[in-house]
Structure 1
Amino acid sequence: MSEKKVALVTGSGKRRVGARVLEALAARGYSVAVHYRTSATEATETAARMSAQFGVPALAVQADLADEAAVKRAVSETLARFGRIDVLVNCAAIWNRKPLEEVTAADVREHFDTNLLGTFLTCQHVGLAMVGQPGGGCIVNIGDWADVRPYRDFAAYFPSKAAIPGLTRVFAVELGTRNPNVRVNAVLPGPVMLPPDVSEEEKEQIVAGTLVNREGSPAHVATAVLHFIDNDFVTGTCLPVDGGRSVFANGF
């Protein structure tokens, strides 16, 4: 087993939030497993960049996270390469904008498969591997602050993310009672990387809805992930990283 700690970050192949979290962990000296579903070239390039920039071992692993066999295979590949998984960060997600009148059952299933089922399966199989490690491990899920104040045209997305806090608490109990060194928490981001189809007018409204009066960045999510890793007396907790959007009524 490698003495270097190991992190698996789902959805880290593309240059989105997952890649920034991966970079923060590599900067700390973690060996990293770069998960991707279809973006093999980007994931391989990301792994090579982590090794070149931070001098850490890196592995690209492929899996459709809604496929249990694929998740098991990705976890097994990571363990076979590194011998351990100390940190799991679930960043893989989809968010497709569509008016309610056009949302289909297939849209809802797709969001639940990726955002909820995928998170469940990785928590289950990585978490049980962590249970067998004396040092346990730390899992951080990524939810969304706006499940408490959802906005229009994302009716398939928000229910799938609203389940993440409950899932996080369930796994904190399930895994922590098996090995008290396994902890599970969640980050609930606000506007840290807005979808490309958000107009400038919408962006201004979103920023105006924060107390800090600015858009956040993936680095803010990465910092919150590191907080959960560092503070070993926190588990079953969901932390909004939203610039105050969840508490601010914008003057009303």
Structure 2
Amino acid sequence: MQQEDAERELSIDELSQVTGIPSRTIRFYNTQGLLPPPHKRGRVAYYGGEHVRVLTLIKELKEKHNLPLDLIRQLLEIRAQHGEIQMNLALKQRLLRPLATSSQEARFSRELLLEQTGISPALLDELLRLELLFPVQEGEQALFTGDDLLLVELYRRLMELGLPLALVTLIRFHLRQLVRSEIAAFEQSLLPRWQSRGLPLEEQARQFEEILTLTDTLISILHRKLL
């Protein structure tokens, strides 16, 4: 995208040429409220740099991350209200937890987990012994979630690259210590503050989710920097 294209006013056909998105698709995005309203002069609509940026974002979110339009709309609303950094944090949170919704619904027996992942029963028993999986007890049966499937794939790939399970166990140990400190900070600092302000439960949940997003991102960046 040329700098002058981002600054000058564009007709819808020019906007289509700059972004590589068909005019009819731009009109559809307009009707869905994904774009800011165009500037009108008489009966002619003109678009500016913000429209170019938003369309570029939509294209990237659809093609690179394969996100549905409903989720893209939510991310764009976060961007409009809180800025690009917060939108990127929300996107990162979404990508870090791709199985979050399905994980709460899908349940896998031991046999199905072995079939889905292709690991040996001995390796599964070792992962359970080391508490590297988190099955849910339903009656007398331990059932696994989508998160467990993802964890197995991560462990297997790390081992294929030559890293031992001992390192994964060490990571889990230190993360557990970190989680305990986070819980203590929540109970001692956040909860009394929210209660004194009479913060509604929905707002508490929103702020807690934002804190999770920020800490997930912080850990990821610090991890890369310290390696």
| TM-score > 0.5, shorter chain as reference | no
More helix by share: 2
Band the TM-score falls in, shorter-chain normalisation: under 0.3
Give the TM-score taking structure 1 as reference length.
0.22
Structure ID, larger Rg: 2
* Greater RCO (Cα-Cα under 8 Å, separation 6 or more): 1
Give the TM-score taking structure 2 as reference length.
0.23
